[in-house]
């Protein structure tokens, strides 16, 4: 028994903001952003759109895709939603602080009446963590068959648009994967590594609003909760983390570079990916990048790439792929998957 990715989906807000369209007050340039990150534009959710809305669209996109797959008996979105046993959402930009979980809002709107639902807070590694958690929950109980893993972010709402070191980097979007148990021994998630280094927790955080820095009655707040980042420290950590995870996953499964169809990295900075590739002597072409279009969508970045590959005909059943990422926490990890 293995756990395979049966279908993928994504949701990208229509509004696209190129580097040259950024608010005039930001002291930056298209040239700086492209040369330091590889980012050309980002997509921004409308004011009325929250994390659960993007997540729901990505979830519906994955389930609709699944209805067209071999071996799927259900005929409608409503029917297949009822077969879900778990919904797991990775996000740093939930609809609400603390509770309810955004996953429960998705569960209700999807009509997934038989599913458990929960959010996980693992920063940009949320999807990587989510695959392993969902896979474990399916494996441990013979009655469970399907799980939906989603990464969804509305980061544009949690940025300080006066901080050029962070606001140019992020974008909004969501991606989803439907996991299903399979008897095919040649498919599924082969191995996952999940790691954390909490000593770097203050390098990337949204400081206000939690129990550590709670808002107080009568307090006047001059800036909304927003991402604060020590970009240089995260950069150094990220190159080390990616290098370590890729090497460990390959060694643990006895896999060579040529065995891998794609490496799907978290899309934070094209230079981070290049630096890790160079250290490992892996050609840049092995890594799939779409950061130029979407910027860093945190937990959504890996499933968005997976869906683009899948629908673009660049992923075939049986392809060996690797995900690898890092993020707030600091967290890092990767999955080795036979698609």
Residues binding ligand UT7 (CB under 6 A): 28, 32-33, 36-37, 124, 164-165, 168, 204, 229, 231-232, 234-235, 238, 268-269, 296, 327
**Identity of the residue, 168 or 306, whose beta carbon is nearer to ligand UT7 in the bound complex:** 168
Minimum CB–partner distance for residue 273 and ligand UT7 (Å): 10
**Identity of the residue, 173 or 188, whose beta carbon is nearer to ligand UT7 in the bound complex:** 173
**Which residue has the closest beta carbon to ligand UT7?**
231
**Backbone φ, ψ for residue 147 (5° rounding):** -140, 150
**Identity of the residue, 117 or 229, whose beta carbon is nearer to ligand UT7 in the bound complex:** 229
**Identity of the residue, 188 or 303, whose beta carbon is nearer to ligand UT7 in the bound complex:** 303
Look at the chain and count its residues: 339
| Token reading at 39 | 């980012």
**Identity of the residue, 94 or 168, whose beta carbon is nearer to ligand UT7 in the bound complex:** 168
Question: Is 266 one of the annotated active-site residues of the chain?
Answer: yes
Q: Which of 51, 104, 124, 167 is catalytic?
A: 124
Calculate ∠ Cα 205-266-268, nearest 5°. Answer: 60
Minimum CB–partner distance for residue 112 and ligand UT7 (Å): 29
Q: Which of 43, 203, 226, 266 is catalytic?
A: 266
Q: Which of 51, 226, 269, 296 is catalytic?
A: 296
Sequence-ordered strand ranges (E) for the chain: 2-11, 16-18, 41-43, 84-90, 116-120, 146-154, 172-182, 188-196, 204-206, 227-229, 262-265, 320-327, 331-338
Minimum CB–partner distance for residue 240 and ligand UT7 (Å): 12
Minimum CB–partner distance for residue 238 and ligand UT7 (Å): 5
How crowded is residue 57: how many other Cβ atoms within 10 Å of its Cβ?
Answer: 20
Q: Which residues have C-beta within 8 Å of that of residue 113, sequence separation ≥ 6?
A: 82
Question: Is 230 one of the annotated active-site residues of the chain?
Answer: no
Helix (H, G, I), strand (E, B) or coil at 246: helix
| Token reading at 141 | 């109980």
Minimum CB–partner distance for residue 260 and ligand UT7 (Å): 22
Nearest to 33 by CA among 151, 126, 171, 223: 171
Question: Is 43 one of the annotated active-site residues of the chain?
Answer: no
Question: Which sequence positions are flagged as catalytic?
Answer: 124, 266, 296
């Amino acid at each position: 028994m293995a756990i395979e990715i049966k279908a993928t989906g994504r949701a990208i807000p229509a509004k696209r903001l190129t580097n040259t369209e950024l608010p005039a007050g930001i002291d930056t340039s298209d040239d700086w952003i492209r040369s330091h990150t590889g980012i050309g534009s980002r997509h921004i959710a409308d004011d009325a759109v929250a994390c659960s809305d993007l997540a729901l669209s990505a979830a519906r996109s994955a389930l609709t895709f699944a209805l067209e797959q071999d071996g799927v008996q259900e005929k409608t979105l409503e029917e297949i939603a009822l077969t879900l046993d778990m919904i797991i959402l990775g996000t740093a930009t939930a609809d609400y602080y603390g509770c309810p979980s955004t996953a429960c809002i998705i569960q209700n709107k999807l009509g997934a009446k038989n599913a458990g639902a929960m959010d996980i807070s693992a920063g940009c590694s949320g999807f990587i963590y989510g695959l392993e958690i969902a896979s474990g929950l399916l494996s441990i109980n013979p009655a469970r068959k399907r799980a939906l893993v989603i990464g969804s972010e509305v980061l544009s709402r949690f940025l300080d648009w006066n901080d050029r070191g962070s606001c140019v980097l992020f974008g909004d979007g969501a991606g989803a994967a439907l996991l299903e148990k399979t008897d095919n021994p040649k498919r599924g998630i082969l191995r996952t590594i999940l790691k954390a280094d909490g000593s770097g927790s203050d390098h990337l955080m949204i400081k206000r609003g939690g129990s550590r820095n709670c808002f107080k009655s009568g307090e006047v707040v001059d800036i909304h909760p927003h991402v604060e980042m020590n970009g240089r420290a995260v950069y150094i950590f990220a190159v080390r983390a990616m290098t370590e995870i890729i090497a460990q996953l390959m060694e643990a499964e006895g896999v060579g570079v040529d065995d891998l169809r794609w490496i799907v990295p978290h899309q934070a900075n094209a230079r981070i990916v290049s630096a890790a590739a160079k250290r490992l002597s892996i050609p840049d072409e092995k890594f799939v990048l779409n950061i130029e279009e979407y910027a860093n969508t945190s937990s959504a970045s890996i499933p968005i790439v997976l869906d683009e590959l899948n629908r673009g005909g660049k992923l075939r059943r049986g392809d060996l792929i690797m995900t690898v990422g890092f993020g707030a926490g600091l967290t890092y990890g990767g999955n080795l998957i036979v698609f």
